[in-house]
């Protein structure tokens, strides 16, 4: 669709003409409306963000006309289901104010159609369930997303299309992981990779290879959540990045650079989890470079890549913020203090702008970024500035009015350890010691919970606690108790996953 606004205007004009004719049950108009709806569906993938409002209006009108048509001719229910699917899922960033229940109605319609004729409608019903589950997952309704994904999986296993089955399994594994069913999620993710590998063997095209990279990246997430699987996670993430890097070098570079940046970001996270901080730093530097500038600097592609960079900044600032925050953390662990500071400052600046645009969506991210910045300020002994940043983060947290700001006890413990580090640096010994004990207690509670996570923040947490204990000195029963508790916590983690945490135990034993 070379001129999307003109095309959308033509769709709107066509609907204005057809609507009264359909109301008078004029048969040729009905046939033209069916054709218009199909053509609109085929054009949706090309609608630019700037034309979403117009596209949404056209989709709402098609649904309204479809409802009227079904009232007179029930045999057109499949057309209404397709129109509802377009309205509910083609505009993920927007929801229709006139049709707030479009997704649920679409699912209900396709379910009824599939029950009546499974051969004709099972695939469309599965597609609707996939999109519905992804939407539920995106807004944090993980149990509902899991139920929809499980139902889709049952349908996909009856169908012959292995490509869509693998995509379904990738998403199902994410839903299972979010629900705490790590072992099942891992099995499902591994099945998806096996299917992708077989598809690549049968037809070695860039499309199937790129999909294999996506499944490998997803598998690496599941492996990192599981105990004693960090090295396997690293291997999967490395293979995903390697495959994607090959595609990013070919003539379709614009289509693959972004995903390479995302895969390198994930690879960097896993490298950090196994203690390979310098390699993690290099991978994250490359990821941020790709996400901000497009990666390739050849003269032939310079202009297009420059445009890609500006598009990425405009469209993917949230992911860029995550990358900069992760880069700051890795830089500090690798001893590159100046780079850590500059990356954290840039992340704070970008996230503040995002909060100005959409406070409810981006305020939790700003709290996370502010705590990373505060931690780096503590490392530089700028305790007054760190305290100001922490106060800002806590004030923002209160305005959100939601416990979801800390997605886990582990995150709360890490933030409290930053507070402890700041208090001790300011000479507030009692406040610092209370925060140390509270942070350790939160980490112990998280480890004892049935849904264990990957303890990604533990290096930061431990670094802060060790610095606090060292600064507090040898005197005092509470300091001795803190030492005992942090050694005990490190022993538990080392027993849980020796590959990742044994080195930390050795470090704290030396206290």
Of 69, 100, 131, the one marking the end of a domain is 100
Q: Where are the beta strands (DSSP E) in 285-394?
A: none
Is 453's pLDDT higher than 70?
no
Task: Indicate the pLDDT class of residue 426, thresholds 50, 70 and 90.
Answer: very high
The span from the CA of 275 to the CA of 472, in Å, is 27
The two structure tokens encoding residue 276:
């390979």
pLDDT tens digits along 259-298: 888 888 888 888 877 777 677 777 877 777 776 655 433 3
| Within a domain: 418 | yes
The two structure tokens encoding residue 31:
């046939």
Of 70, 100, 130, the one marking the end of a domain is 100
The two structure tokens encoding residue 147:
């139920």
How deeply is 206 buried, as exposed, middle or buried, from its count of CB atoms within 10 A (0-12, 13-18, 19+)? middle
Of 100, 130, 161, the one marking the end of a domain is 100
How deeply is 50 buried, as exposed, middle or buried, from its count of CB atoms within 10 A (0-12, 13-18, 19+)? exposed
The span from the CA of 346 to the CA of 329, in Å, is 13
Average pLDDT over residues 307-331: 57
| Within a domain: 14 | yes
- 276 SS3 class: coil
Q: What is the 3-state secondary structure (H, E, C) of 83-119?
A: HHHHHHHCCCCCCCCCCCCHHHHHHHHHHHHHHHCHH
Mean pLDDT of the chain: 81
Is 402's pLDDT higher than 50?
no
| Within a domain: 470 | yes
The span from the CA of 240 to the CA of 315, in Å, is 23
The span from the CA of 176 to the CA of 57, in Å, is 36
Task: Indicate the pLDDT class of residue 449, thresholds 50, 70 and 90.
Answer: low
| Within a domain: 302 | no
User: In the prediction, which pLDDT does 353 show?
Assistant: 82
| Within a domain: 53 | yes
DSSP element (H, E) containing 395: helix 383-400
The count of domains in the chain is: 2
Contact criterion met (CB below 8 Å) for 274 and 500: yes
How deeply is 251 buried, as exposed, middle or buried, from its count of CB atoms within 10 A (0-12, 13-18, 19+)? exposed
| Angle formed by the axes of helices 359-379 and 383-400, nearest 10° | 160
Contact criterion met (CB below 8 Å) for 288 and 327: yes
Residue with tokens 């707030």: 100
The two structure tokens encoding residue 18:
């057809």
| Within a domain: 145 | no
This prediction's pTM? 0.63
Is 220's pLDDT higher than 90?
yes
pLDDT tens digits along 222-238: 998 888 898 999 999 99
The span from the CA of 105 to the CA of 83, in Å, is 11
pLDDT tens digits along 127-155: 999 999 998 988 888 999 999 999 999 99
User: Who wins on pLDDT, 442 or 80?
Assistant: 80
Average pLDDT over residues 470-485: 72
Task: Give, as one character, the DSSP assignment of residue 405.
Answer: G
How deeply is 401 buried, as exposed, middle or buried, from its count of CB atoms within 10 A (0-12, 13-18, 19+)? exposed
CA torsion 112-114-115-119 (nearest 10°) is 160
> 486 vs 39, 273, 506, CA distance in Å?
63, 19, 12
> Percentage of the chain with pLDDT > 90?
30
Average pLDDT over residues 310-337: 64
Closest CA to 491 of 444, 436, 427: 444
The span from the CA of 465 to the CA of 457, in Å, is 12
User: Comparing 298-312, 322-336, 496-510, which segment has the lowest mean pLDDT?
Assistant: 298-312
3-state helix, strand, coil in the chain (%, to 5): 85, 0, 15
The span from the CA of 503 to the CA of 321, in Å, is 30
Contact criterion met (CB below 8 Å) for 87 and 57: no
| Within a domain: 161 | no
Domain interval for residue 493:
406-511
| Within a domain: 50 | yes
Average pLDDT over residues 388-412: 71
| Most distant CA pair in the chain, distance | 92
């Amino acid at each position: 669709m070379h001129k999307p606004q003109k095309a959308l205007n033509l769709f709107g004009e066509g609907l204005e003409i057809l609507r009264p004719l359909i109301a008078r049950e004029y048969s040729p108009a009905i046939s033209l409306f069916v054709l218009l709806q199909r053509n609109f569906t085929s054009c949706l993938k090309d609608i630019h963000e700037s034309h979403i409002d117009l596209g949404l209006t056209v989709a709402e009108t098609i649904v309204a006309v479809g409802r009227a048509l079904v009232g007179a001719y029930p045999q057109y229910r499949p057309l209404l289901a397709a129109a509802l699917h377009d309205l509910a899922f083609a505009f993920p960033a927007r929801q229709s104010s006139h049709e707030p229940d479009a997704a649920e109605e679409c699912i209900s319609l396709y379910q009824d159609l599939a029950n009546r004729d499974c051969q004709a409608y099972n695939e469309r019903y599965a597609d609707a369930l996939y999109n519905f589950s992804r939407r539920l997952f995106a807004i944090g309704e993980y149990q509902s997303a899991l139920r929809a994904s499980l139902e889709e999986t049952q349908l996909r296993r009856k169908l012959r299309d292995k490509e869509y089955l693998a995509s379904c399994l990738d998403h199902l594994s994410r839903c299972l992981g979010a629900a705490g069913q790590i072992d099942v999620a891992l099995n499902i993710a591994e099945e998806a990779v096996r299917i992708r590998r077989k598809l690549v063997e049968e037809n070695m095209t860039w499309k199937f290879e790129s999909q294999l990279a996506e499944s490998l990246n997803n598998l690496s997430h599941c492996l990192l959540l599981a105990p004693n699987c960090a090295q396997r996670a690293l291997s999967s993430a490395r293979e995903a990045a390697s495959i994607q890097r090959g595609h990013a070098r070919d003539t379709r570079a614009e289509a693959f650079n972004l995903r390479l940046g995302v895969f390198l970001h994930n690879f960097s996270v896993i490298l950090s989890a196994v203690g390979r901080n310098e390699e993690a730093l290099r991978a994250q530097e490359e990821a941020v470079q790709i996400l901000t500038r497009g990666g390739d600097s050849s003269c032939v592609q310079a202009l297009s890549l420059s445009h890609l960079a500006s598009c990425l900044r405009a469209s993917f600032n949230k992911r860029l913020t995550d990358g900069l925050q992760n880069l700051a953390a890795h830089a500090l662990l690798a001893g590159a203090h100046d780079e850590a500071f500059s990356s954290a400052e840039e992340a704070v600046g970008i996230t503040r702008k995002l909060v100005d645009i959409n406070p409810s969506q981006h305020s939790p991210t700003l709290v996370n970024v502010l705590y990373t910045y505060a931690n780096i300020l503590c490392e530089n002994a700028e305790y007054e500035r760190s305290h100001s940043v922490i106060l800002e983060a806590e004030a923002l947290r209160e305005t959100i009015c939601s416990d979801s700001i800390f997605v886990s006890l582990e995150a709360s413990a890490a933030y409290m350890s930053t507070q402890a580090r700041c208090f001790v640096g300011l000479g507030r010994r009692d406040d610092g010691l209370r925060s140390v004990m509270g942070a350790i207690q939160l980490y112990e509670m998280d480890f004892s919970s049935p849904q264990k996570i990957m303890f990604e923040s533990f290096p930061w947490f431990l670094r802060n606690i060790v610095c606090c204990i060292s600064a507090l000195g040898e005197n005092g029963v509470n300091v001795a108790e803190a030492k005992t508790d942090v050694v005990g916590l490190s022993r538990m983690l080392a027993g849980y996953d020796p590959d990742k945490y044994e080195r930390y135990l050795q470090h704290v034993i030396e206290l």
